[in-house]
Amino acid sequence: VQLQASGGGLVQPGGSLRLSCSVSGTIFKINAEGWYRQVPGKQRELVAAITGGGSTNYADSVKGRFTIFRDNIRKTVYLQMSSLKPEDTAVYYCNSRGVDGSRWRNYDSWGQGTQVTVSS
């Protein structure tokens, strides 16, 4: 299972951006998918996650501003970010965990990361 993240860029404070994570491969079951972010010198942190059943959870710092959702037909997970702040600047990574339907074993895959910069 492979993930391809896209959608990062430079945006002004208060602006919006949508990140996309395209998932390829044969998936029997999705346990959870999520978006994480990392700034230099700090640990990677969970921003938002969505379970296979559609339940979501968010970091306190992004609640009410970010939304994670999945398009099962396009096999893509999105992170809609609004009211962006300079402190949201980071490299954003997508993650997917579940059961690989071709190898019949668990997988835990990461996208390559996409830079989000919030600055005027």
CB 48 within 8 A of CB 79: yes
Cα angle, residue 30 at apex, residues 99 and 56 outer, rounded to 5°: 150
Are β-strands 114-118 and 90-100 bridged in parallel, bridged antiparallel, or unpaired? antiparallel
pLDDT of residue 108: 97
- Rounded distance between C-alpha atoms, residue 3 and residue 7, angstroms: 13
pLDDT band at 110 (very low <50, low <70, confident <90, very high): very high
Residues 14-46 pLDDT 10s? 999 999 999 999 999 999 999 999 999 999 999
Mean pLDDT of 59-72: 96
Q: 10 Å Cβ neighbour count for 102?
A: 11
CB 101 within 8 A of CB 27: yes
pLDDT of residue 96: 97
Question: 3-class SS at 87?
Answer: helix
Residues 66-105 pLDDT 10s? 999 999 888 999 999 999 999 999 999 999 999 999 999 9
Spell out a b/e string for 30-60, using b for 16 or more CB atoms within 10 Å of the CB, else e.
Answer: beebbbbbeeeeeebeebbbbeeeeeeebee
